[in-house]
Amino acid sequence: MPEAILDPELPIVDPHHHLWDRRSYVSPGGEEHPFMTAIEPAKRYLLDELMADTGSGHNVVATVFVECGAFYKADGPVELRPVGETEFVNGVAAMSASGLYGSFRACAGIVGRTDLLMGDAVKPVLEAHIAAGGGRFRGIRNSASWDADTEVLGPLHRVEAGLYRRADFRAGFKHLAPLGLSFDAWLLEPQLADVIDLAQAFPETTIVLDHVGTPLGRASYEGTRAERFPLWRADIRELAKSPNVMVKLGGLAMAFCNFPSFLAEPRASSEQLANEWRPYIETCIEAFGPDRCMFESNFPVDMGSCDYATLWNAFKRLAAGASAEEKSALFSQTAKRVYRLDI
């Protein structure tokens, strides 16, 4: 039986979800991975599926789309092909903004992808994204997630170590702030020193840490999450010293974290999820403050542990002791401010 929706009137801006139409989740080597198992039911996740989730009981008023390699252009210059994703998402946003689907505003902000390793050559590509975004384009995400154990990421093991420290990456990164663009950073907990260094080197650029830095609990990290927690916490506290950094509270339902709730049957309750995630969420809020934290769904990826309604119930349990002003920041106002949403 579905859970009753907690605090159903609380406005929510979901600052992190994807849209895609996947034909296959088979990785280049054909191997199986829990990540692929978790998102197998969501091979198609477009406006209809998003609206079914956001309309499942919570008061989700708007969302931010984050790049996922969907609908790239099939031809043309390679560096411009990711602009196809921005064009597609802006079309979805325009559908939602028509009012035909109600007051909900899907993809009010768009975070796309550009290869910042292009250095100075990236500027016209960034400008192409901005033009394609119809006033909604807000930033770039280049994932730096890497681990020496390739089984941790499986099909998402795509980059070399130390991406955020490379001189050619930073030559591209420097163009973000002058164009009014933010940067979403996804990397794994052992790599947090890389984003700490990046934030210190570019204090004028807004950086959003995705998924609380992705603590690890699978493959060679299985059974070590608790003993690694103090290392993660120390890095989070150090990162919070850079005022240009924000953090998204979520992503803990992914395969990489490997909490007991992941792929559990029967499905975990919001109470179980809140108890599993509490140390990470509370540490981030304590370090960054509510005005620099935002709850995120990371859907449909996080469906491996729960449905959308249960996820937000878990977040509301975690924020139960917060004031009304703090809840407003955590569930909507931080996301609205950071992504400069006109809603």
The residue extents of the domains of the chain are 11-338
* φ and ψ at residue 105, rounded to 5 degrees: -120, 100
Structure tokens at 191: 């790599």
- Cα–Cα distances (Å) from 277 to 191, 214, 311, in that order, read 20, 12, 11
In sequence order, what are the residues at sequence separation of 6 or more whose Cβ sits closer than 8 angstroms to the Cβ of residue 171?
Answer: 119, 120
pLDDT score of 26: 47
- Cα–Cα distances (Å) from 138 to 129, 162, 265, 277, in that order, read 9, 25, 38, 29
In sequence order, what are the residues at sequence separation of 6 or more whose Cβ sits closer than 8 angstroms to the Cβ of residue 32?
Answer: none
Lowest mean pLDDT among 38-47, 101-110, 128-137, 170-179: 38-47
Confidence of residue 23 (pLDDT cuts 50, 70, 90): low
pLDDT score of 135: 98
Task: Find the mean pLDDT for residues 7-36.
Answer: 81
pLDDT of 32 > 90? The answer is no
Share of the chain above pLDDT 90, in %: 92
Cβ pair 122, 174 in contact under 8 A: no
Place of tokens 């650029």: 205
Task: Find the mean pLDDT for residues 267-289.
Answer: 98
pLDDT score of 27: 46
Confidence of residue 28 (pLDDT cuts 50, 70, 90): very low
pLDDT of 315 > 90? The answer is yes
The 10s digit of each residue's pLDDT in 50-69 is 999 999 999 999 999 999 99
pLDDT score of 79: 97
| Mean pLDDT score of the chain | 96
Cβ pair 59, 343 in contact under 8 A: no
pLDDT of 25 > 70? The answer is no
The 10s digit of each residue's pLDDT in 189-241 is 999 999 999 999 999 999 999 999 999 999 999 999 999 999 999 999 999 99
pLDDT score of 190: 98
312/30: higher pLDDT: 312
Radius of gyration of the chain (CA): 19
- Cα–Cα distances (Å) from 170 to 119, 174, 197, 199, in that order, read 7, 6, 11, 11
207-209 and 245-249 beta bridge pairing: parallel
What distance lies between CA 218 and its chain's CA centroid?
A: 20
pLDDT score of 186: 98
Rounded Cα distance between 217 and 58, Å, is: 30
* φ and ψ at residue 64, rounded to 5 degrees: -120, 125
Structure tokens at 206: 């807004």
pLDDT of 30 > 80? The answer is no
Cβ pair 310, 267 in contact under 8 A: yes
Task: Find the mean pLDDT for residues 83-101.
Answer: 97
One of 3.90.550.10, 2.40.50.140, 3.40.50.2300, 3.20.20.140 is the CATH number of 11-338, namely: 3.20.20.140
Task: Find the mean pLDDT for residues 82-98.
Answer: 98
Spell out the SS3 assignment of 241-281: CCCCEEEEECCCCCCCCCCCCCCCCCCCCHHHHHHHHHHHH
